[in-house]
């Protein structure tokens, strides 16, 4: 293996448990910390959704919840916290800060992130944010009820607008503000590392698509989270300092005229929020695209079809992602001309998305496909991305969106594309990299059980929601049986809830497999069990403290050289000296 001697590691190996595993500056430990935070959060978020589904299926059933009956407000609390925990603490942390932290430096041949201390700070700030968010459950009035989008004036006026809108909503805003700061620190680290710390020979067009995805995602974070932070501060001032940024004058809430506030704009909040919120969707999904591309190539034993087109598509999606926030606001009464512009830009995202999809299929085409668990989930990712993306084309049209926006159609759309597809990206990464991270393999048989329960499961959950939406079932309703025209839909809701039970059971298999494999999984002796090309497979599992043991690898070629004619093995690693190609 050709490496290049450098004397530098960024910092000395830490001593003692606390510095090694708690306040570690090692990007690998921090990556795992993020993954564990996300794993905890995803089960909390999933638990909340199970509660909601039970209530939707059997609204009359007395389910104990925070002492007292299951009121519609409590349903909204569950919904708000489910959305917030899933979007911020799972979809934003695991794919980017988790896997990205662990593998970006290794894949570019660096000993660590550019700013290890900042990296540690970023994780613990995120942790604080999660704690503040969860605290909202335990304060007077409980968690907020205004959804993960916290639309004003519901979110801005305090406890007069409902339980949870007092201290609970304030904690929510603090949590999101803290989270924004943490994400900005992470983004600075990711971008700097990618720009400045690449190994010799690793040009941008030789980067693995995973690194491209993390890089572009970090740019989106950098530009989006500052805006969310600003919006959060304005909202907080409206609540605690009596300002009127988002609260209109002459508002009557619960029969009381609000005299303190004058002339603010609720739409201003929506604009600021969605200017962050739409890029956030891509922050969640882009890393999944990167991992899926990576894994599809590895297990098809073929180069990624159209590598450059894939890179440009990632950049194109990131760029367009900043210009479409208005499509979340077609119902807000914006000018139809504005709506038209946002609609056109939104549909334009279909172009790079289709490039990616066809290139994934092109990668699979004619390949020697090995259906490992990672590969199954990567193919599942492509499927979910297409299914969820196609409904986006419906919703991108204002005339259709007006009809569907507040229905289950939107719930189905964003869960498939942003929620489940991104989660499939995480499963792909977990099954693919587990052995590298922990030195033991996950059980493939259990993993296949997990896949074959989860993949149909999520379709059984979310496909029927499209039909619910088309017939006008409104989202955010706690009890469909209370409305005459929705009563006939109840069997569909029951079906979805049963599908949820089965799918959740599948996730317990995953959790068991994960924990069991940590302790008793088969030890891996081979550094490169998947016969893959990128740099993480050239070092031991788990990697040593400074990744390359004081050496810096040299890269000679692109990341996906599979089935190279004339070479004895069917792959050529990135670091292999050209003189060796064809000889070993």
Partner 1 sequence: MPGATLTDELDVLHSGGTGGGTPGSAGGGGNAGGRRPSPRGAASRIYYTGISLALAAIVMFFMALVSAYIVRKGQGGDWRPINLPQIVWINTLVLVASSITLEASRRAYDRDDATSFRLLWGATTVLGLAFLAGQYIAWRQLAAAGVYIASNPSSSFFYLLTAAHAAHLVGGLAALLYVLTRGWAYLRRSSGIAASVTGVYWHFMDGLWVFLLLVLQMGR
Q: Given the rule CB under 8 A, which residues bind partner 1?
A: 2, 4-8, 10-11, 25, 114-118, 121, 181, 184-185, 187-189, 191-193, 195-203, 206, 222-227, 229-231, 233-234, 237, 241-245, 249, 260, 262-265, 268, 271-272, 275, 552, 554-557, 577-579
Q: Closer to partner 1 by CB, 20 or 476: give it.
A: 20
Least Cβ distance, residue 221 to partner 1 (angstroms): 9
* Residue 3 DSSP SS3: strand
Q: For residues 101 and 29, give the distance between their C-alpha atoms in angstroms, rounded to a whole number.
A: 9
Q: Closer to partner 1 by CB, 180 or 443: give it.
A: 180
Give how far the C-alpha of residue 223 lies from the chain's centroid of Cα atoms, to the nearest Å: 17
Least Cβ distance, residue 97 to partner 1 (angstroms): 16
DSSP classification of residue 13:
P
Q: How many residues are given for the chain?
A: 584
320-325 contacts: CB < 8 A, separation 24 or more?
A: 320/345, 320/348, 320/349, 320/352, 321/220, 321/278, 321/279, 321/281, 321/282, 321/349, 322/220, 322/223, 322/224, 322/275, 322/278, 322/279, 324/278, 324/349, 325/271, 325/274, 325/275, 325/277, 325/278
Least Cβ distance, residue 372 to partner 1 (angstroms): 31
Least Cβ distance, residue 217 to partner 1 (angstroms): 14
* Residue 253 DSSP SS3: strand
Least Cβ distance, residue 116 to partner 1 (angstroms): 7
Least Cβ distance, residue 375 to partner 1 (angstroms): 31
Q: For residues 582 and 564, give the distance between their C-alpha atoms in angstroms, rounded to a whole number.
A: 9
Least Cβ distance, residue 178 to partner 1 (angstroms): 13
Least Cβ distance, residue 43 to partner 1 (angstroms): 32
Q: Closer to partner 1 by CB, 53 or 278: give it.
A: 278
Residues 6+ apart with CB under 8 A from 321: 220, 278, 279, 281, 282, 349
Q: For residues 332 and 150, give the distance between their C-alpha atoms in angstroms, rounded to a whole number.
A: 15
Six token digits for residue 290: 């990167």
**Cβ burial, residue 559 (10 Å; 0-12/13-18/19+):** buried
Least Cβ distance, residue 252 to partner 1 (angstroms): 18
Q: For residues 109 and 199, give the distance between their C-alpha atoms in angstroms, rounded to a whole number.
A: 5
Least Cβ distance, residue 332 to partner 1 (angstroms): 14
Least Cβ distance, residue 399 to partner 1 (angstroms): 27
Q: For residues 446 and 456, give the distance between their C-alpha atoms in angstroms, rounded to a whole number.
A: 16
Q: Closer to partner 1 by CB, 205 or 344: give it.
A: 205
Q: Compute the 3-state secondary structure of the chain and give helix, strand, coil in percent, each to the nearest 5.
A: 65, 5, 30
Q: For residues 459 and 444, give the distance between their C-alpha atoms in angstroms, rounded to a whole number.
A: 23
Neighbour tally for 240: CB within 10 Å: 11
Q: Closer to partner 1 by CB, 116 or 142: give it.
A: 116
Least Cβ distance, residue 117 to partner 1 (angstroms): 5
Q: Closer to partner 1 by CB, 357 or 580: give it.
A: 580
Q: Closer to partner 1 by CB, 55 or 557: give it.
A: 557
Q: Closer to partner 1 by CB, 243 or 430: give it.
A: 243
Least Cβ distance, residue 515 to partner 1 (angstroms): 34
Q: Closer to partner 1 by CB, 203 or 525: give it.
A: 203
Q: Closer to partner 1 by CB, 267 or 518: give it.
A: 267
Q: Closer to partner 1 by CB, 3 or 563: give it.
A: 3
Q: Closer to partner 1 by CB, 7 or 565: give it.
A: 7
Terminal-residue alpha carbon distance, the chain: 12
Six token digits for residue 255: 């029969």
Nearest to 195 by CA among 227, 228, 222: 222
Six token digits for residue 550: 């004081």
CB 314 within 8 A of CB 213: yes
The Cα-based distances of 500 to 58, 115, 425, 457, 470 in angstroms read: 14, 42, 20, 7, 21
Q: For residues 578 and 415, give the distance between their C-alpha atoms in angstroms, rounded to a whole number.
A: 46
Six token digits for residue 384: 């979910």
Q: Closer to partner 1 by CB, 117 or 149: give it.
A: 117
């Amino acid at each position: 293996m050709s490496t290049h001697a450098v004397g530098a590691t960024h910092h000395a190996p830490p001593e003692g448990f606390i510095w090694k595993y708690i306040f570690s500056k090692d990007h690998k430990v921090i990556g795992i910390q993020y993954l564990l935070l996300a794993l905890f959060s995803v089960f909390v978020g999933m638990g909340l959704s199970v509660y909601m589904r039970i209530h939707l299926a059997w609204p009359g059933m007395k389910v104990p919840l925070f002492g007292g009956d299951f009121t519609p407000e409590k349903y909204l609390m569950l919904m708000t916290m489910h959305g917030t925990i899933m979007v911020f603490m799972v979809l934003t942390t695991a794919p980017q800060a988790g896997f990205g932290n662990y593998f970006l430096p290794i894949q570019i041949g660096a000993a660590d992130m550019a700013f290890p201390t900042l990296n540690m700070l970023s994780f613990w700030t995120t942790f604080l944010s999660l704690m503040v968010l969860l605290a909202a459950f335990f304060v007077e009035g409980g968690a907020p009820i205004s959804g993960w989008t916290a639309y004003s004036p519901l979110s801005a006026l305090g406890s007069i607008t409902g339980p949870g809108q007092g201290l609970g909503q304030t904690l929510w805003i603090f949590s999101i503000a803290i989270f924004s700061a943490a994400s900005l620190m992470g983004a600075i680290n990711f971008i700097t590392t990618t720009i400045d710390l690449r190994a010799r020979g690793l040009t941008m067009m030789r980067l693995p698509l995973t690194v491209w995805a993390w890089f572009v995602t970090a740019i989106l974070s950098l530009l989006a989270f500052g805006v969310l932070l600003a919006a959060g501060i304005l909202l907080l001032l409206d609540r605690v300092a009596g300002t009127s940024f988002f609260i209109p004058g002459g508002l009557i809430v619960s029969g009381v005229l609000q005299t303190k506030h004058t002339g603010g704009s609720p739409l201003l909040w929506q604009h600021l929020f969605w200017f962050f919120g739409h890029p956030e969707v891509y922050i969640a999904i882009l890393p999944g695209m990167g991992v899926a591309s990576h894994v599809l190539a590895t297990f098809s034993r073929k180069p990624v079809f159209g590598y450059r087109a894939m890179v440009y598509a990632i950049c194109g999606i990131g760029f367009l992602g900043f210009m479409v926030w208005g499509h979340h606001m077609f119902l807000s009464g914006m000018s139809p001309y504005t709506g038209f512009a946002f609609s056109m830009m939104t549909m334009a995202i279909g172009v790079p998305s289709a490039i990616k999809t066809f290139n994934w299929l092109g990668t699979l085409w004619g390949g020697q496909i090995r259906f490992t668990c990672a590969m199954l989930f990567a193919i599942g990712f492509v499927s979910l991305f297409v299914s969820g993306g196609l409904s986006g084309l419906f919703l991108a049209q204002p005339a259709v969106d007006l009809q569907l926006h507040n229905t289950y159609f939107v719930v189905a759309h964003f869960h498939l594309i942003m929620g489940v597809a991104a989660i499939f990206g995480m499963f792909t990464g977990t099954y693919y990299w587990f052995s590298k991270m922990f030195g033991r393999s996950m059980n493939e048989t259990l993993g296949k059980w997990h896949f074959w329960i989860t993949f149909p499961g999520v379709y059984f959950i979310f496909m029927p929601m499209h039909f619910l939406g088309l017939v006008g079932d409104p989202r955010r309703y706690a009890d469909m049986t209370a409305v005459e025209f929705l009563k006939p839909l109840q069997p569909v809701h029951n079906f979805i809830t049963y599908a949820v039970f089965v799918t959740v059971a599948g996730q317990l298999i995953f959790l068991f497999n994960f924990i069991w494999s940590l302790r008793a999984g088969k030890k891996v002796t081979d550094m490169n069990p998947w016969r893959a090309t990128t740099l993480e497979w050239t070092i031991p599992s788990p990697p040593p403290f400074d990744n390359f043991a004081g050496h810096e690898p040299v890269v000679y070629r692109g990341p996906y050289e599979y089935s190279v004619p004339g070479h004895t093995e069917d792959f050529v690693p990135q670091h292999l000296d050209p003189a060796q190609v064809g000889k070993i």
